[in-house]
Structure 1
Amino acid sequence: MATVSLDRVSKVYPNGHVGVAEASFDIADGELLVLVGPSGCGKTTLLRMIAGLESISSGTLSIGGRVVNEVSPKDRDIAMVFQNYALYPHMTVAENLAFGLRLRGKPKAEIDERIRQAAKQLELEHRLDALPAALSGGQRQRVALGRALVREPKVFLLDEPLSNLDAKLRLSMRVEIARLHRQLGATMIYVTHDQVEAMTLGQRIVVLNGGEIQQIDTPMRLYEKPANLFVAGFLGSPAMNLLRGPLRHGDGWHLETPQGEVQLGTLEMQAPDLLGWIDRDVVLGIRPEDLRPTSEANATLSAALEVTEPVGNEIFLNLRRGEQTLVSRVPPGALPDAGSVMHFKLASDRLHMFDPASGARIA
């Protein structure tokens, strides 16, 4: 396996469109790193530049300490798994797995052994003689993974490999990919637009938007301390609640909103960062689990219950506070009827503040 290093790697198209803007980060040997962001954010372009399928406009890309900007894809010692499987329909599973090795002139005995090991790891031993048309979606994806696996490359590149599967299969394949990564100790770069996949698979996550890196960190650090409003709103399901208004300080901190004042408490940990924002507009971020039902006497804010979404071990409360919509995540239990006014208290030690102009985190 190998490290991958990007130093100000950019992609600028002839029409001037910037696909990726000066991406710089290192991927450790054996790390599973996820590139995540909305459609058009540059994540697949970045992956294709690493693969050699897209030229690099500027910057330096190194794999295993070797600069590969001008190295052809076949000489980069990488293997790529695509969204659409890309299996040869007239070949059996075994023939699909062997195809790349035969092109490279590997001995038959070595090819057979690698196929046997990959089929065992992916539980495909009983399907080696089947054609792709006879396989389920999950089995086809495992064959696509196996074709990369038998190559024994330095780096695995996975481009939204689960997006064509149903929800149940996506879950099982996420587990499969995580298990394979642990078993192989492989360097993997995984592209997805699905933030749940990113959070559950990545050891670290690169969040992209508009071709620019927004933040790089571990999944929980991204969730607990988003660097800006984009990351705060993109990661988390349901999304973070955002309220905007002037920040006041008198008897404790509070936020003035068109729907009324929101009491924030003493904010002891955040107060030093907030002193320069008194009487200025800020955006307050509240995760759904940090908006907690309470009695009216202890309430920080009140909102009308519009819709409840029971999802088994938790319930999402869709709320309305004037023109503002909010979501609260609560344990299962008895709830008032739709239209009822509910009272909530904020987890004051878990609030997020952002600059409404730049989107940058304040505290």
Structure 2
Amino acid sequence: MATVKLDRVCKVYPNGHVGVAEASFDIADGELLVLVGPSGCGKTTLLRMIAGLESISSGTLSIDGRVVNEVSPKDRDIAMVFQNYALYPHMTVADNLGFGLRLRGKQPDEIAARVRDAARLLELEQRLDSLPAALSGGQRQRVALGRALVREPKVFLLDEPLSNLDAKLRLSMRVEIARLHRQLGATMIYVTHDQVEAMTLGQRIVVLDGGKIQQIDTPMNLYDKPANLFVAGFLGSPAMNLLRGQLQRERAWQLQTPHGSLSLGELSTQSPELLPWLDRDIVLGVRPEDLRLSSADASALTAVLEVPEPIGNEIFLNLRYGTQALVSRVPPGQLPEPGTPMHFKLTQERLHFFEPVSGARIV
């Protein structure tokens, strides 16, 4: 396997559009790194530059210490798994798995051995003589993965490989990819727009928006300490609640919103960073699980239930606080009727504060 290093890599198109702006990060040997963001954020463009399918406008891309900016895709020792399976319909599973090796002039015995090993790893041994049309969607995706595996490349590149599968298959294939990564110890770069896939698969995640890297960190660090409002709103399902208002302090901290005053408590750990923002506009972020049901009192946030969503092990409460939509994640229990006023407390130690203009995290 190999390391991958990007140093201020840019993609600028002839019309001046910046697809990727100065992307710099390292991918460790054996790491599974996920590129995530909304459509058009530059994640697939970045992956295609690593693959050599897209030219690099500026910056340096290195694989295993070798600069590969001008190296053709076939000489980069990478293997790519695409969104569509791209299997040859007239070839059996075995022939599809070994086709790339035959193109590279490998001996039949070596091809057969690698195909057998990949089929065993992907539980395709009983389907080697089948045509793609006879396979399920999950099996076809495993064949596409296997075609990359038999190459034994330095780096695996996966471009939204699960997007054509239904929800149940996506879950099972996600587990299979994570299992394969652990077994192979392979260097993998995985592109997705699905933040659940990103959080469950990635050892580290690169969050992109508008061609720019917003934050790079482990899944839980991104969730617990988003660098800005975009990351805060993008990662997490349901998304973080964001409330705008003026930060005030009497005996305790408060957020004065257009819909009323929210009690924030003492905020003992956040106070030093928040003092410069006293009597200024600010954005408060509250994860749905940190909006907790409580009894009615002067410090409670009172919101009206609009739509309860019971999903078995938990309930999402879609609420209306004035004109502000909020979501609370609560344990299963008796569902109140829509239109019911409900009372909530904020988990003080898990509140997030952001600058209202730049969106940067304060604390």
TM-score norm. by structure 2 comes to 0.99
Whichever residue aligns with residue 314 of structure 1, its letter is E
Match in the other structure for 2:343: 343
Over 3 Å off, 4+ runs? none
1:264 and 1:300 in contact (8 A); partners too: no
Distance 2:356 2:44 in 1: 29
Greater mean deviation of Cα atoms: 291-300 or 22-31: 291-300
Secondary structure (helix, strand or coil) at the match of 1:71 reads coil
Greater mean deviation of Cα atoms: 78-87 or 330-339: 330-339
Aligned counterparts, 1:127-146, within 5 A: 127-146=127-146
Match in the other structure for 2:286: 286
Superposed CA deviations along residues 231-260 of structure 1, whole A, max 9, x for unmatched, are 000000000000001100111100000110
Match in the other structure for 1:92: 92
Superposed CA deviations along residues 286-327 of structure 1, whole A, max 9, x for unmatched, are 000000000002743100011110001000000001100100
> Displacement, 1:336?
2.2
Distance 2:212 2:340 in 1: 43
Secondary structure (helix, strand or coil) at the match of 1:40 reads coil
Secondary structure (helix, strand or coil) at the match of 2:297 reads helix
Match in the other structure for 1:180: 180
Superposed CA deviations along residues 124-153 of structure 1, whole A, max 9, x for unmatched, are 011111111111100000000000000000
**Residues 1:120 and 2:120 are matched in the alignment:** yes
> Displacement, 1:83?
0.3
Whichever residue aligns with residue 215 of structure 2, its letter is Q
Question: Percent same amino acid among aligned pairs?
Answer: 82
Match in the other structure for 1:61: 61
Aligned counterparts, 1:68-217, within 5 A: 68-217=68-217
Secondary structure (helix, strand or coil) at the match of 1:213 reads strand
1:299 and 1:343 in contact (8 A); partners too: no
Distance 1:321 1:208 in 2: 31
Whichever residue aligns with residue 41 of structure 2, its letter is C
Distance 1:334 1:65 in 2: 59
**Residues 1:354 and 2:340 are matched in the alignment:** no
Greater mean deviation of Cα atoms: 331-340 or 118-127: 331-340
1:303 and 1:343 in contact (8 A); partners too: yes
1:101 and 1:151 in contact (8 A); partners too: yes
Match in the other structure for 1:242: 242
1:47 and 1:157 in contact (8 A); partners too: yes
Distance 2:90 2:17 in 1: 40
Whichever residue aligns with residue 45 of structure 2, its letter is T
Secondary structure (helix, strand or coil) at the match of 1:296 reads coil
Whichever residue aligns with residue 248 of structure 1, its letter is Q
**Residues 1:232 and 2:232 are matched in the alignment:** yes
Residue ranges of structure 1 left out of the alignment (5+ in a row):
none
Distance 2:115 2:156 in 1: 17
Secondary structure (helix, strand or coil) at the match of 2:163 reads coil
Match in the other structure for 1:275: 275
Distance 1:298 1:72 in 2: 67
Distance 2:344 2:109 in 1: 67
Distance 1:175 1:101 in 2: 27
Residue ranges of structure 2 left out of the alignment (5+ in a row):
none
> Displacement, 1:334?
1.6
2:156 and 2:189 in contact (8 A); partners too: yes
Q: Give the root-mean-square deviation of aligned CA atoms.
A: 0.6
1:298 and 1:345 in contact (8 A); partners too: no
Match in the other structure for 1:305: 305
Match in the other structure for 1:3: 3
Distance 2:152 2:182 in 1: 15
2:262 and 2:299 in contact (8 A); partners too: no
**Residues 1:258 and 2:258 are matched in the alignment:** yes
Secondary structure (helix, strand or coil) at the match of 1:264 reads strand
Secondary structure (helix, strand or coil) at the match of 1:112 reads helix
Superposed CA deviations along residues 12-56 of structure 1, whole A, max 9, x for unmatched, are 000000000000000000000000000000000000000000000
Match in the other structure for 1:47: 47
User: Size of the alignment, in residue pairs?
Assistant: 363
Greater mean deviation of Cα atoms: 52-61 or 328-337: 328-337
